[in-house]
Amino acid sequence: MADETTPTTPPPSPAGFFSKPPQRPGVTPPLRPAAPPPAKPSPRVGEAAEPHPWTRYFARMTDIILFSLASGIVLGLVAPVVVKTVNGYLLGLLIVFAWVFVESALLATWGTTPGKWLLGITLRARGGRPLEGGAALGRSFSVWLRGLGLGLPIVSLVTLIKGYNRLKQTGAASWDAKGGFEVTHRPLSGGRLALLIAIAALFVVFALIGALAG
């Protein structure tokens, strides 16, 4: 029979099971693995992960050059009186404006244009869907107004500089951010580069012919 004067050990408290054991002197506690860095947010709709302002500029200029050459040939064959009587500067402004409707039709159908295709640029609506006709027309009109400055020399210089700075700072052109358009870029292949050089050479030849004829 146990002695009644012997002290009994008190049962451990529930908190004792959850308390940290005492650290012995000179023993370094194990280090916890560092938490992984937060993942970088994916580009927002209408923004490119890496903006390419010069690529987009040359694609736009390639489109306008090709359309101007085609328009000049068609007008010269169908309505030569227009080419002879209408002021060349005014005719150029009208051709740039007419490109708004051609570009929007191409974007709604193929998601790209000849110049954009050569430079590896594709446009899609939110979620990768094809552009609708109205959205494509609104985008092309905004590019003509806020990007090209109606085709007017001094105005277009100001709008192009503003567009360049915005694209570098935010990663998205104003018309793409507003419409929720996704712009993708592909590397430039050797074949497309050769086509670009041929187009540039063709433009120089036509310009020289026009200057000599004038």
What are the tens digits of pLDDT across the range 56-92? 999 999 999 999 989 988 998 998 888 888 888 899 9
The answer to pTM > 0.75 is: no
Number of domains in the chain: 1
Give, rounded to a whole angstrom, the gap between the first and last alpha carbons of the chain. 130
In-domain check, residue 28: no
| pLDDT for residue 142 | 96
Q: Is 7 helix (H, G, I), strand (E, B) or coil?
A: coil
Q: What integer is the mean pLDDT of 204-211?
A: 77
Per-residue b/e over 113-131, b at no fewer than 16 CB within 10 Å? bbbbbbbbbebbbeeeeeb
In-domain check, residue 29: no
pLDDT in tens, 141-190: 999 999 999 999 899 999 999 999 999 999 899 999 999 999 999 988 88
- Structural domain harbouring 115: 58-209
In-domain check, residue 11: no
Rounded Cα gap, residues 124 and 38, in angstroms? 28
Label residue 45 by pLDDT band (50, 70, 90): very low
In a 10 Å sphere around its CB, with 0-12 CB exposed, 13-18 middle and 19+ buried, how is residue 13 labelled?
exposed
